[in-house]
Amino acid sequence: MEKAHITAIGGTYEKETLQITEKVGGIDITLGERGEAEIDDYFSFYLQNQSKTAPLFTLKINEYKTTRKSRSSVYKTDFNAITVRIPSNDVISLRVPKGRYTLKNLELRSESYQTLHEAYERGRFKPIDVTIEGRKIHLYYENIVHDTHLALPVPYEKGWEVKVNGEKKSLEKVNYAFLGIPLYEGRNEITFSYLPPYFRLSAALSSIGLLGAGGWSLWHYRHKRRPL
């Protein structure tokens, strides 16, 4: 971004404040000299309408279009850090309706996917044996090419546990939202298992409650049968 030139369109952009005075406006980011290998741009920024009562509005970045909820909406997420993938271009155009916005933390990353293609080529001839039994996922992977991590296309959430070669390990959140673990060199026998969060604690408390209720019922029954 230090090589880019930013031009305000339909308003002004100063000190992280974008003031649009026309019906639609924004900024154009003209990029400096770039290599030819890039395929996609990942444009990241922080955007928030400064009006708490402004309605839902349309955000457009080049050909990509989405909507942002009003700050007064009950469905708002308050998540204003945005990353958009767009085809690589010499100019990035951001457009919003008339209004006053906070726009900051502009970042741009270009990706040729070379690393992804190399990883695919390394792994496409190495099938991973996977079996699913009830609440468990079993995998066997022979790591002979120095892979560092295994990512599973299963959302990361409380309740998951993992063992590698019989030893319990800590789970990691990888690729922003999925289950992952570090790999050993060579043999990796991996078992993922899932129980709903606090299931063991709930089961223990329920058992204690049932035992207590059973004990009280037995005492009450014997007490009622005791002769006067």
> pLDDT of 39-65, one tens digit each?
889 999 999 999 989 999 999 999 999
What is the reported pLDDT for 25? 96
Q: What are the tens digits of pLDDT across the range 12-40?
A: 999 999 999 999 999 999 987 766 656 88
What is the reported pLDDT for 100? 97
Do the Cβ atoms of 190 and 131 come closer than 8 Å? no
Question: How is residue 193 written in tokens?
Answer: 């298992």
What is the reported pLDDT for 38? 64
Structural domains present in the chain: 5-111 (2.60.120), 114-194 (2.60.40)
* C-alpha to C-alpha distance for 122 and 143, rounded to whole angstroms: 11
- Using 50 as the pLDDT threshold, list the residues of the chain that sit under it: none
Q: CA nearest 193: which of 171, 213, 177, 212?
A: 171
Q: Which residues pair with 192 in a beta bridge?
A: 137, 162
What is the reported pLDDT for 3? 81
DSSP for 63-91? TEEEEE--TT-TT-----EEEEEEE--SE
